[in-house]
Structure 1
Amino acid sequence: MDRVHVLATGGTIASTMTTEGTVPTESIHDLADTYGDVFDVIDWDVTVEQCVQQPSSELELDDLTTVARRVNDVAGDADAIVVLHGTDTLEETAYYLDLVAASDVPLVLTGSQRTPTEPSADGPANLRGALAAATHDAIRDGAYVFFNDRLHAARPVTKVHSTNPAAYDSGQYGLVAERTPDGLWFFRRPTSLSVSVTRYDLTASVDIVATSTGTTGGIIDDAVERSVDGLIVDGFGLGNVPNDVARAIERAIDHGVPVAVTTRCRHGNTAGVYGSTGGGRTLRRAGAVLASNLSASKARLKLLATLADPGTDVERTFDPSRLDRHGFTPRSVRVNK
């Protein structure tokens, strides 16, 4: 019989209220007892494993590599993998696994906005849906997030609400599928939207610099002084920044520090259009990489993973033309299961 392996990392889905506040106290074995009937949604063997036990806001880069190693180890024997995760940084872990998972075994992440003991707990439904998605024969590669009856690709998905069970959105790129009473309804062919990297050690140091009106370049200069390995600058619009930040970016590049520029806009891409001092075209001519539609947090993970392999070209890794573009093409396909 086919087997799905569930890796637990903590988060609200495994949390209870204590005198100190809400903390992850429930192991995956506790949850298996609590949610036992949830596993009946699929006609597969289910095995469970506690991989990490933390709120996702407290996960370290070492924890991400631990999860990635376990995913790749388990993929040799399991037919599908589900990861239970806290919602704060779930989108980052999903994208990181989309980059580095070395197998075509389906991988779906989920969690909950409410604890298991709350009357309106959303964990059981999310876990049930994640299991159904991971074991669906249309899901064959890439990492996905299942939440509130919706299946998202790892690259575009973002947490957009701090408390609502409809916590995630994929913006202009849309859903992969939606769960209906008749099964999963697919809006496009499920596939990874990420350019894979060959190494998943996250030992480099990459900082994120946010910009706003009049931001100066001192933070960038300080980072270079601290011997940071890379920088993500979260710019405006198409990837433009204040003049002083632009000059600091050029100094960082002159010191051999790779810089990727993202946009703080929720929708749209970066593009080298503006040729003023802080314009994206000027930054690109200076050697900065424009990170397309990646958020700053996901661009940081991509740069970290890229820097783990000294032979990898940073600009080529971020090149949007290497995306599997047909993955973005809306296509209504109903596949029942």
Structure 2
Amino acid sequence: MSDVNLPIRPRRLRSSPALRRLTSETSLEPRHLVLPAFVREGLTEALPIGSMPGVMQHSLSSIRCLAADAVDAGVGGIMLFGVPEERDATGTAGSNSAGILNAALRAVKEEVGEALVVQADLCLDEFTDHGHCGVLDADGRVDNDATLLRYQELALAQAEAGADLLGLSGMMDGQVAAVREALDSAGREDVIILAYSAKYASAFYGPFRDAVESALVGDRRTYQLDPGNRREGMREALLDIDEGADIVMVKPAGSYLDVLADVAHASPIPVWAYQVSGEYSMIEAAAANGWIERERAIDESVLSIRRAGADVVLTYWAIEIAQRLNALNSRKVRPRA
């Protein structure tokens, strides 16, 4: 027996799996996860994305199967991104009722009904031939107010296609107010607005741009946030709340946990976070090289986002994590004698 007098021993609460489970401060459940998914026009079967191992560009048929798998795993929602065959300066394919994203929304909604929250990315970058999130003026700059008109058109098309939630990811000033006005004027007060409020001009979006075959030349620093700005992230979130957002978002997640914690502490509405493509691909690459334990790293990365205050996490591992959690929970249930 030790002669050291230590009345305070925090390790007592870590001494068994049951105690660790009982005293855990942060939980992760399948319902806390949303799966981002890509649907590409012209595909007849799913196509692997080289820079995102395990993630696919989907056909209208395979996206139905993916959505059904998400329901079976208990995932909370699915966020759809469209990859059109043709693009133009104003992204008309995005508001075309027959466009790939709107067709995918109808397909997924038909497949899963109310069993999954069906979500649409509301932005122009996938649909423009210049790759920016808005309409360009005569000098090649993103025209904020002209872009808002296009966002309103996209919102109505996506709502008509069956989206339960619209993810406003373009970072235009006034986008939440503009879209809310358009929806409410059309009698679509039921459609939820998720505002990508604190979306940073990050280097971690690279694989995503492969996934949507982005045509971007240059960068988006005139509308996405500077990575060094913490207070500005909070300011953007508060503005979106005032404009009528139902949920606010911090993106990326892993490198911006301080911003996420700030917003979560202050927000009266739900706060979500997006674990972006670069975060996904870095872990997959390190695991493929044997440098880290893949499953533990995945779970830890998502749990840390929840710990920082995210009510929901968008992650490309949503189904895998949910299935693992379901299997773990089933093993914990002991039959009665």
TM-score class normalised by the smaller sequence: under 0.3
Question: Normalising to structure 1: TM-score of the pair?
Answer: 0.27
Q: Relative contact order, CA 8 A, sep 6+: which one is greater?
A: 2
Question: Normalising to structure 2: TM-score of the pair?
Answer: 0.27
